[in-house]
Amino acid sequence: MNPTPPTAMTAAPHAAMGPTPQAAMTPAPHAATSGPTLEVRGLQTHFFTRAGVVKAVENVSFSVGSGRVLGLVGESGSGKTVTGFSIIGLVDPPGRIVGGSILYQGRDLAKLTEREMRGLRGNRIAMIFQDPMMTLNPVLRIDTQIIEAVRAHTNLSWREARVRARDALGMVGIPHPEERLDAYPHQFSGGMRQRVAIAIALLHRPDLLIADEPTTALDVTIQAQILSEVQQLCATQGTALLWITHDLSVVSGLADDIAVMYAGRIVETGAASSVLDRPLHPYTHGLIGSVPSRNRRGQRLRQIPGMTPGLLALPAGCAFRTRCARADAACAVDPDAREVMADRTTRCFHPELDLIA
Amino acid sequence: MTVGGEPMPSDPVTITPIIALEGVSRRFGPTHDAAARLTRRVTRAFGGSVRNEVVHAVDKVDFAIRPGEVVGLVGESGCGKSTIGRMVAGILPPSEGRVLYRGAEVANLPKDQARRAKLKVQMIFQDPYASLNPRMRVAEIVGEAPRVHGLVDRAGFDDYVDAQLRRAGLDPSFKRRYPHQFSGGQRQRIGIARALAVQPEFLVCDEAVAALDVSIQAQILNLFMDLRAELDLTYLFISHDLGVVEHLSDRVLIMYLGRIVEAAPAEEVFARPNHPYTQALLAEVPRIEARKRRFTAIKGELPSPMAPPTGCHFHPRCPHAMPRCAEQAPDLRAVAPGHHSACHLNDAI
């Protein structure tokens, strides 16, 4: 067997899944609504701590269309998780969304009341977290938790809801779903728990799914199972997927588009293959060079010097300039995001255009 | 590779391996206190059944590591790779079999020789937060062991610690600080400085970069490669990340549920995986070179090591399983020079 599976496709940036039977069924439930499922514009989420204002998310903009996958890539502390939490309305004090808009099918989520938000959350917009124990209540049986989620957004009876719950478990590949409904979370393995969490997230066939490092804690084979499930979901249900991760190799296989975050800002966006093949921002370039890949076996990895600065002690101007080989006097001013190539934006005065042969 | 050249696993030259495992097994069971023992005895006396829950973490493993080699040990969680690492590092005794350091069993050596032998094998742990004593300053963490073992005298202590820190890429002026004042990557460097301070020949790295961010991981991997060239180190590099293992290793061992199912030079195993488990594992590795692809999945879950399947442990998930696979465990056999695999399919050919 070839390690690079023959199924690997080089995707045209705007073909959702390639010519597959699933793609043929793609017409999304909300095809009527024009425009992207999610559009985030100038989002600012700040944390008002005793030590000062932490600008965890600063002027972040991106959009995800129906059936598309956006990979939001960044390292710890880059603000990628807070971005996800902001969208689903789970930012707790001292954190607050202080600016920008989060348009879900044209409605600004940041302006909804908690009651309206509750109607959407878990229903039209769902989230999968890194640690499934964060989603599952350890003292409640699996069936109680799924049925609760079903009945929160439908008028089904308990009995009907239980049937839905069983089907949901079956759909994510849990063997003997009927018996497993009576189990408690601790009786499942990590991969199984994450699948239960995914089953709950998918109960109401959400239009938008936010996945925050859902496979980081899982083994390679279990990760592949989960990736294949979400991939199918996007293709068949037209779900827009925001995949938050630090792992570029997962994103390269999954995402249509990529947004790279550094110190609370998006420093680069574009189609996945385009960003990975021709990174423009020096940070993206360094990040890709840091991933061990078979082309450079045994050679030194291209490392980024230093480490991510704390958000309270960011250098003035471009936040990356202290670690950047291309930094000069111009970088003392914070660069705006600009489109340097077709469909490619970057926040850098010295994008690595010359690297492109 | 930079050091040692391309290793020849089938090399008949009699180099004593730096580490050799011979028929090593490790089982974990509950330890019973006096009350539990009494209860169990009474239960048995009255004809009740007493459950013996034993985990076979490692099951009759043999391998040898030659000086200068980097051996990658790969497997999913629960396959016993960390247990092997701990047995190699001498932290955990095997239940059965022998762990040899340069041809001798450390436990049978005279006391002072055994102590020196133990120092030569050091371990770097996964979690840089849990593996450093939070109440000790960096200088003590790094300098304690060499001082106790007489590798450095009082006068040379400061210089010695500085040199260790500098070698691991840390500023010696930080040595009065405590672990909590450092980031994850820096802590891992402290762990490396601590391991190197006793002048080891062999490092066991147990998921040493798994907890780090990608860019920091690259820095630490580069450091490992530099140290290998500088100090002529031999590594057992344990990881679930096949990309990292492929990058560093000369030779790779693939483990599944307590057994080694395949052992081969790195290039060989990634180009021509033999065992169905290795093939499936490699097919699932997300790669940055791969663009939008369809993910597929190995059927089923890793079975519990408390009740491993009979015969070949992989047969319930294997697409090529035959009736024989459920009955008889395949031996690790050569399929190519230096390439060993434990699969009945190889007999058919």
The residue ranges of every structural domain in chain A are: 135-203, 282-355
Say which of A20, A256, A298 has its CB closest to residue B1. Answer: A298
CB B273 within 8 A of CB B341: no
Mean pLDDT over residues B197-210, rounded? Answer: 91
Beta strands in chain A (DSSP E): 38-49, 52-64, 69-73, 95-104, 107-108, 125-128, 208-212, 240-245, 257-262, 265-271, 338-341, 344-346
pLDDT at position B14 is: 67
A253 and B291 in contact by Cβ < 8 A?
yes
Residue A95 reports pLDDT greater than 80: yes
CA dist., res. B244 & res. A209, Å (int): 30
Say which of A291, A300, A303 has its CB closest to residue B288. Answer: A291
B85: Cβ–Cβ under 8 A, 6 or more apart, which residues? B73, B123, B204, B206, B236, B238
Residue among A199, A99, A188 at smallest CA distance from A141:
A188
Mean pLDDT over residues A110-139, rounded? Answer: 88
Residue A14 reports pLDDT greater than 60: no
A249 and B280 in contact by Cβ < 8 A?
no
Contacts of A249 in chain B (CB under 8 A): 243, 285-288, 290
Mean pLDDT over residues B281-303, rounded? Answer: 76
Q: Confidence band (pLDDT; 50, 70, 90) for A29?
A: very low
pLDDT at position B297 is: 67
Q: Confidence band (pLDDT; 50, 70, 90) for A247?
A: confident
Residue A162 reports pLDDT greater than 70: yes
pLDDT at position A88 is: 92
Residue A5 reports pLDDT greater than 70: no
Residue among B327, B298, B299 at smallest CA distance from B313:
B327
Q: Confidence band (pLDDT; 50, 70, 90) for A250?
A: confident
A224 and B284 in contact by Cβ < 8 A?
yes
Tokens of A22: 């699933």
Q: What percent of chain A has pLDDT over 70?
A: 89
* 286-345 in chain A: CB under 8 A from chain B: 286-298, 300-304, 307-308
B213 and A246 in contact by Cβ < 8 A?
yes
CB B262 within 8 A of CB B273: yes
pLDDT at position A18 is: 38
Residue B106 reports pLDDT greater than 80: yes
CB A206 within 8 A of CB A239: yes
B303 touches chain A (CB under 8 A): no
A298 and B247 in contact by Cβ < 8 A?
yes
Q: Confidence band (pLDDT; 50, 70, 90) for A2?
A: very low
In the beta sheet, which residues pair with residue A95?
Answer: A47
Q: Confidence band (pLDDT; 50, 70, 90) for A194?
A: confident
Residue type for position A326: R
B301 touches chain A (CB under 8 A): yes
Cβ pairs bridging A and B (under 8 Å): 176
pLDDT at position A21 is: 40
How near does any CA of chain B get to the CA of A174, in Å? 9
Contacts of B296 in chain A (CB under 8 A): 5, 7, 224, 228
Mean pLDDT over residues A289-306, rounded? Answer: 81
CA dist., res. B47 & res. A103, Å (int): 69
B76 and A220 in contact by Cβ < 8 A?
yes
How near does any CA of chain A get to the CA of B116, in Å? 31
pLDDT at position B140 is: 93
pLDDT at position B198 is: 92
Contacts of A225 in chain B (CB under 8 A): 297-298
pLDDT at position B10 is: 47
Residue A353 reports pLDDT greater than 80: no
Tokens of A129: 């977290």
Q: Which one is predicted more confidently, B52 or B210?
A: B210
Residue B107 reports pLDDT greater than 70: yes
* 250-269 in chain B: CB under 8 A from chain A: 266-267
pTM of the model: 0.81
Mean pLDDT over residues A275-284, rounded? Answer: 91
pLDDT at position B76 is: 83
Q: At how many degrees (to 10) do helices A158-171 and A190-202 cross?
A: 120
Tokens of A204: 């109401």
Residue A38 reports pLDDT greater than 50: yes
Contacts of B218 in chain A (CB under 8 A): 289-292, 301-304
B292 and A11 in contact by Cβ < 8 A?
yes
Say which of A191, A247, A272 has its CB closest to residue B301. Answer: A191
Q: Confidence band (pLDDT; 50, 70, 90) for A253?
A: confident
